[in-house]
Amino acid sequence: MLKILGRKNSSNVQKVLWTCAELGIPFEREDVGMQFGRNKEAEYLAMNPNGLVPTVIDDGLVLWESNAIVRYLAAKHGAGKLWPTDPGERATADKWMDWSNTVLDRRFGPCFIGLVRTAPEKRDQAMIHASRDETSAAFAMLEAAFGKSKYVGGATFTIGDIPLGPIAYRWHNLPIKRENYPNLRGWYERMTQRPAFREHVMLPIT
Ligand SMILES: N[C@@H](CCC(=O)N[C@@H](CS)C(=O)NCC(=O)O)C(=O)O
């Protein structure tokens, strides 16, 4: 059975859990990372030299990098559904997955860490505000994209939507100013109606 190593409050682990639930893939999960430790131990580093979560093991194949894992699972279990078989459609979904890691996640990171994982007296408010502003500018790009299509990959839900989901959940539920992005809000509300998203992403933000 697929084994997933990683704590369930990690956005990167949530992408993998959400994908499994969408595709009905059975899995076992073990808590690794933050207070659970293990990720800096030699046994874990031999599988994932980054010392980060998630790592998955599937029939002897060891994989890390959450988006690569999502692509792998969707290609194996969701071709023609979550994983578009048309190269152009798949590249469009891939584009947003890469953008999520290289733009959205990086911009939002300081705001999230500052508000959720930093004691109030130690918060760098200027950094939190700057991160929020930059994240909002990134979400404006998604707002424009959702003006043209219902999901990032086109008319249907695909792998492209997965990495955006956990960040959008945090964005919509943290006590921060949010500009009015009706198309983004509509897409986010569609995500919240998916049982797999509710189960694995809509958790207490810790
Ligand atoms: N690019 C990697 C990033 C992985 C990553 O940064 N994971 C974080 C959790 S979201 C982590 O392992 N933090 C250390 C810890 O949990 O101890 C991926 O997408 O899998």
Tell me: do 61 and 122 sit in the same domain: no
- Residue 99 sits at φ, ψ, to 5 deg, of -60, -35
| Residue position matching structure tokens 């809000």 | 185
Q: How many angstroms separate the most distant Cα atoms in the chain?
A: 51
Tell me: do 8 and 55 sit in the same domain: yes
Cβ of 65 below 6 Å from ligand 1:
yes
Tell me: do 6 and 47 sit in the same domain: yes
Tokens standing for residue 133: 């502003």
**Count of domains for the chain:** 2
Distance 32 CA to ligand 1 centre (A): 10
Look at residue 103 and tell me if it is in a domain: yes
CATH of residue 34's domain is 3.40.30.10
Peptide bond into 54 cis (omega under 30): yes
Residue at which a domain ends, from 44, 77, 110: 77
Closest residue to atom 11 of ligand 1, CA basis: 52
Residue at which a domain ends, from 13, 44, 77: 77
Can you give the C-alpha Rg of the chain in angstroms? 17
Tell me: do 93 and 192 sit in the same domain: yes
Predicted local confidence at residue 26, as pLDDT: 98
Domain containing residue 68 = 2-77
Cβ of 12 below 6 Å from ligand 1:
yes
10-residue averages of pLDDT along the chain (206 residues): 98 98 98 98 98 97 98 97 96 98 98 97 97 98 98 97 98 97 98 98 97
Tell me: do 102 and 189 sit in the same domain: yes
Cβ of 100 below 6 Å from ligand 1:
no
Distance 10 CA to ligand 1 centre (A): 7
Tell me: do 162 and 189 sit in the same domain: yes
- Residue 107 sits at φ, ψ, to 5 deg, of -70, -35
Q: Give the global pTM.
A: 0.97
Of 106, 6, 83, the closest CA to residue 47 belongs to 6
Closest residue to atom 16 of ligand 1, CA basis: 33
